[in-house]
């Protein structure tokens, strides 16, 4: 298990996140820190607008991060760890259930 966790932090993108700080980066991007940990785990990827900000912040710090560095991080992890696919499916299921619940509540409020 420790090897899996260690592997997550080896990419250029992950090293930048660690050096910059998850909390600092989450504030800069206006996202919850858990989103960044999802990116590091490989179960989610930054939105393009966030990736652009990450590139700019890295560049300001003298680090050149390409989109391949950012998005390749999760692709590389997914290629070597099939458990990530399970986590992604579980996440999609939770999101779909949440959205269905929101739609039901919204429909009920329009009716009532």
The two three-digit tokens of residue 28, written as one number: 């800069």
Q: Are residues 75 and 105 in the same domain?
A: no
Q: Are residues 103 and 61 in the same domain?
A: no
Q: Are residues 62 and 88 in the same domain?
A: no
Q: Are residues 13 and 61 in the same domain?
A: yes
State which residues form the domain around 7.
2-81
Strand boundaries in the chain, DSSP class E:
none
pTM: 0.73
Helix (H) or strand (E) holding 15: helix 12-20
Tally of domains within the chain: 2
Q: How confident is the model at residue 16 (pLDDT cuts 50, 70, 90)?
A: very high
Q: Are residues 91 and 106 in the same domain?
A: yes
Average pLDDT score over residue span 14-43: 96
The closest of 38, 46, 49 to 94, measured between CA atoms, is 38
Q: Are residues 69 and 97 in the same domain?
A: no
> In the chain, pLDDT over 70 holds for what percent of residues?
95
Q: Are residues 96 and 43 in the same domain?
A: no
């Amino acid at each position: 298990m420790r090897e899996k966790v260690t592997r997550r932090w080896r990419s250029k993108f992950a090293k930048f996140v660690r050096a910059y700080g998850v909390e600092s980066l989450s504030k800069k991007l206006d996202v919850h820190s858990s989103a960044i940990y999802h990116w590091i785990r490989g179960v989610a990827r930054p939105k393009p607008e966030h990736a652009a900000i990450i590139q700019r912040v890295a560049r300001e710090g003298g680090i050149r991060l390409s989109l391949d560095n950012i998005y390749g991080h999760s692709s590389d992890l997914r290629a070597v760890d099939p458990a990530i696919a399970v986590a992604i499916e579980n996440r999609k299921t939770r999101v779909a259930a949440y959205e269905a619940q929101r739609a039901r509540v919204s429909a009920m409020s329009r009716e009532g």
